[in-house]
Amino acid sequence: MARDVANRRLRAGIVGGGPGSFIGAVHRVAAELDGQASVIAGAMSRDPQKAQEAAAAWYLQRSYASFQEMAEAEAKREDGIDFVIIATPNYMHFPVAKAFLEQGIHVVCDKPMTLTLEEAQELVKLVESKQIIFALSHNYTGYPAVRQARQMVRQGALGDIRKVLVEYIQDWLIEPVERSGNKQAQWRTDPSKSGVAGCVGDIGTHAENLLEFITGLKVTSLCADLSTFVEGRALDDDANMLLRLENGGKGVLTCSQIAAGEENNLSIRIYGSKAGLEWHQQEPNTLLFKPFGQPQQVYRTNMGFMSDESKALSRLPAGHPEGFYEAFANIYRLAIADIRRLERGQPLEGGYPTVQDGLRGLQFIVKAVESSQHGATWVSLD
């Protein structure tokens, strides 16, 4: 249902984000950071009491007991929400997305997009059948340095891509914290809520997405060795993979949630026939460019020489660190701009991860698990 969004902040609703949630608050901050949207409604917990309390803590105008109720009610209001944020555990992404899409409400959804490949395919069809914005929170693509990296690859600064090393390693599941009350750990290690993969689905997909986003190359096959190091855990907590890329390039992807001493280390190195690139999420404002035979160059967020796209996603002068929230907010900035364009009848410009990226992520997860189950053998990703 199209609303006039000119001259006001957009109105957002949120599903999930209640007690024990980490990502809910991230979405709120990211959605509101540019002053282009306010979260004003929510179905923040399955427990109505908790939902109410969470909504009050955020000063929301409207709290709902269920997402179905919220979707229907908001769609009918004159001042209903313009878009919904889905910040639930994985298994709820699909039904919630479907409910709001069917009401014509734009969606910003967490990754991985769904539990199964089939659900992902259904969402793709649903989104394609509508005039609607669907953005997926592969938030790491929101960093200005990542955009710069992508542009440098596109412009041929690296030559032909030959080798990619991407990793996403953490340590927060090094012990069986899912058995001692950690809510984040509970659902992420539970196949019924998280899907067929644990670590691979939770963070491996970010690594795969980042690789394809920057290089513009598809992973065509992979050989994945998934492990569960913590006894009694139902899903993988570590994985190593060999990759082959569509252009003949090779790669390695490693992800872990049991790598002692690692916080949230998403890093990528890309080597071409002319130059290399290196980026570390934990120091996200620095991008190393490594032209063969010349001094390495240090690209920094919002320096004048950065690409227009990269600068457009920077908010502060160089040297004023922009971090995780700001990158996440860039996904919102781009999606909200398209929501405004859509409402004005202008051509969309995209730039944020879409339902297609969500489908791609599910393909990756399913194939990685399949490879590992067959003894870490090669499987095709197409």
Say if residues 16 and 44 touch (Cβ distance below 8 Å): yes
Terminal-residue alpha carbon distance, the chain: 36
Query: Does residue number 275 form part of the binding site for a second copy (CB under 8 A)?
Result: yes
Query: Does residue number 326 form part of the binding site for a second copy (CB under 8 A)?
Result: yes
Query: Does residue number 291 form part of the binding site for a second copy (CB under 8 A)?
Result: yes
CB of residue 57 vs a second copy: minimum separation in angstroms?
A: 9
Q: Which stretch binds a second copy (CB under 8 A): 113-121, 122-130, 207-215, 303-311?
A: 303-311
CB of residue 269 vs a second copy: minimum separation in angstroms?
A: 8
Sorted by sequence, the CB contacts under 8 Å of residue 67 that are 6+ apart come out as: 15, 43, 92, 95, 96, 99, 100
User: Within positions 50 to 69, which residues make up the interface with a second copy, using CB under 8 A?
Assistant: 56, 58-59
Q: Which stretch binds a second copy (CB under 8 A): 115-123, 310-318, 336-344, 351-359?
A: 310-318
CB of residue 88 vs a second copy: minimum separation in angstroms?
A: 19
CB of residue 115 vs a second copy: minimum separation in angstroms?
A: 24
Q: Site for a second copy (CB under 8 A): which residue of 49, 155, 180, 294? A: 294
Backbone conformation region of residue 252, classed left if phi is above 0, alpha if psi is from -120 to 50, else beta: beta
C-alpha 370/C-alpha 372 separation (Å) is 5
- Our CB check for a second copy shows the closer of 251 and 353 to be 251
CB of residue 62 vs a second copy: minimum separation in angstroms?
A: 14
Query: Does residue number 97 form part of the binding site for a second copy (CB under 8 A)?
Result: no
CB of residue 70 vs a second copy: minimum separation in angstroms?
A: 19
| Number of residues engaging a second copy in binding (CB under 8 A) | 95
Say if residues 359 and 113 touch (Cβ distance below 8 Å): yes
* Alpha-carbon separation of residue 317 from 197, 300, 303, 320 (angstroms): 40, 10, 7, 6
- Please, what sign has the CA dihedral across residues 78, 83, 89, 90? positive
- Our CB check for a second copy shows the closer of 89 and 276 to be 276
C-alpha 263/C-alpha 22 separation (Å) is 15
DSSP letters, 190-236, are -HHHH-S-SHIIIIIHHHHHHHHHHH---EEEEEEEEE--STT-SS-
Q: Site for a second copy (CB under 8 A): which residue of 20, 25, 151, 341? A: 25
Query: Does residue number 316 form part of the binding site for a second copy (CB under 8 A)?
Result: yes
